[in-house]
Amino acid sequence: MKIYSIVRIGDEYVVRAGEKSVLKVASRRRAAQLVTDAVELLHSQDTPPLSPQAPDEPSIARDPRGMPDPSEVP
């Protein structure tokens, strides 16, 4: 997980991830909200799906017997 910080430079606030500056905003409150949102998104990506057993849509599978010869079809 990255370490986020907010640094004031002049009249702006810079959101940093580790040692890298990623965003400038005019409001410290907005910068804090963006950091909170980013952390929540990263945590949501770490959690596994709720039901990995059944897919939402049916899948199309090939018939293992293959396609019958047209001359044998009644």
Q: Is the separation of the CB atoms in 37 and 23 below 8 Å?
A: no
pTM of the model as a whole: 0.54
pLDDT value for 40: 87
CA nearest neighbour of 4 among 32, 45, 24, 25: 32
**pLDDT tens digits for 15-74?**
988 889 988 999 999 999 988 888 888 888 776 665 555 555 555 555 566 666 666 666
Contacts of 1 (CB under 8 A, 6+ apart): 42
**Half-sphere exposure of 7 toward its Cβ, with a 13 Å CA cutoff?**
13
User: d(Cα 68, Cα 60) in Å, to the nearest integer?
Assistant: 18
pLDDT higher than threshold 90 for residue 13: yes
Higher pLDDT residue, 71 or 1?
71
